Structure 1
Amino acid sequence: MKIKCIAVDDEPLALELVSKFVEQTSFLSLEAKFDNAIQALGYLNDNQIDLVFLDIQMPDLSGMELARILDGKNLSKKPKIIFTTAYNQFAIEGYKVDALDYLLKPYSYEDFLKASTKAYQHYEKLSQANNESNSPNKTADYIFLKVEYQLVKVMLDQITHVEAYKDYVKVFLKGKPNPLLSLTSMKNMEELLPEGTFMRVHRSYIINLDHIESVARNVVNIGNVNITVSDMYKDKFMEFINKWI
């Protein structure tokens, strides 16, 4: 999925920086860039755009004024806004116009990516909701994980198990020698992974039940990995096992 976006900033260096960040982000597509909000407004009236990276303090028409105009328009699909500014006093005003995020200059690519990922997740949820409404019996068979500076699509049936690793999780995939390292929590992974297929069996492990090869006492074997089922999760795991005995 590509998110169509524009960049608006009256400072040439700032405009070039945000444009550069957009172009190096795989899920963003830079459709246009403007050094004033009036031209940007004209473009938005004639083109369908998903996301606007918008400076606040600009002559003639400020970014906040542009956001209010867009918020009041009867558009079938209003673009989301990520404000970029050197002044943090506009944060509250930004949220009043339903801004997606707020980047305080000078910001790094990591900050930019974090804000952009919010936009990706927003439109991904909309896409999934539309798919579910069209096919109510179909559930998503994949998830997206943040790996370094990108979002990686991971098929659920390829995940054998997940292991906690400091502030990260290691996601092990069938046939892949090295796991994906994602900056997230085990709790978040539990929420992402469907309960009927995945089960947490230890504070540090979530397993894909379809990939179990054998069970010996309180140890689960998946490929060449042995995972201990801790006492905290033992009863729930045994309920699953007893269904097949």
Structure 2
Amino acid sequence: MADSKIRCIAVDDEPLALALVSGFISQTPFLELVGKFENAIEALSFIHEKEVDLIFLDIQMPGLTGMELARVLEGHKNKNRPKIIFTTAYDQFALEGYKVNALDYLLKPFGYDEFLRASTKAYQITQSAQFPPQVSVPQKDYLFLKVEYQLVKVFLKDIICIEGYKDYVKVHLIDKPHPLLSLTSLKNLEEILPRDQFMRVHRSYIVSLDHIESVTKNTINLGGISIAVSDHYKDGFLKFMEKWIY
């Protein structure tokens, strides 16, 4: 089913780290936590008995390490074997992680925004795998944003623009006097949002193409907001505009 959740397990020998990842999984709408383990041997036994789509896997663990578990699963060459997102405090394992086809690599300590970015990548890949290339997969028309201590559903059609800061973004919405403040990055949202509907026009702004009201030489006006198009993004924006100028 296109809307089914991704069945996940978390594996980490540190109880606090295991609880953190398990909590992140549980609060993410498209993920389902089906198991959590403090050692890789128990996780491997569970994987052999149950259906698992995605593993959040620590690398440095006593006994069977996370990397060794990944090699075991890679050796099965089963197209339905779980995908892996490594969680580790050691960045020297990044290259080795790619050798076992790890989907992503989260460097501890990481926050929910980084976790959500990696999870969204897993979700998009899973969705694509469920449909043959010739089948048109409907584009999701919403996303979930972490606002304070909850996930808020935001419809893409309601987004006017997104203003980026260092550790968070302001999402300006139609018919809302104040923007939503979310703990994520502009780069993460740029990767998630459909490119036929949204465009990065400045290091600090993504705009909704549907909500553009007028354009001057260097400025976009939408929803009562004026945004300058920076030199770095100007060529891409002008190419887009050329298609609509008559």
TM-score tier after normalising by the smaller chain length: 0.5 to 0.7
2:61 corresponds to: 57
For residues 134-192 of structure 1, the C-alpha deviation after alignment (integer angstroms, 9 at most, x for no partner) is 642x6525354654688765433212234455675433222222223454347974983
1:114 offset after TM fit, Å? 1.7
Is 2:75 aligned against 1:75?
A: no
**TM-score, length of structure 1 as denominator length:** 0.67
Distance 2:42 2:188 in 1: 45
Conserved? CA contact 1:7–1:15, under 8 Å: no
The root-mean-square deviation of aligned C-alpha atoms, in Å, is 4.3
Q: Identity, % of aligned pairs?
A: 43
Conserved? CA contact 2:161–2:171, under 8 Å: yes
1:96 offset after TM fit, Å? 2.1
Larger-gyration structure (1/2): 1
1:20 offset after TM fit, Å? 4.2
Conserved? CA contact 1:147–1:180, under 8 Å: no
Query: Which aligned pairs between 1:194-205 and structure 2 lie closer than 5 A?
Result: 194-195=195-196, 197-198=197-198
1:170 corresponds to: 170
Structure 2, unpaired ranges of 5+: none
Matched pairs, number:
232
Distance 2:192 2:91 in 1: 33
Conserved? CA contact 1:67–1:97, under 8 Å: yes
* AA at the equivalent of 2:79: S
Query: Which aligned pairs between 1:30-179 and structure 2 lie closer than 5 A?
Result: 30-55=33-58, 56-59=60-63, 61-85=64-88, 89-102=92-105, 107-108=108-109, 110=111, 114-115=114-115, 117-128=117-128, 130=130, 133=133, 135-136=135-136, 139-142=138-141, 144=143, 147=146, 154-165=154-165, 169-179=169-179
**Secondary structure class of the residue paired with 2:48:** helix
2:226 corresponds to: 227
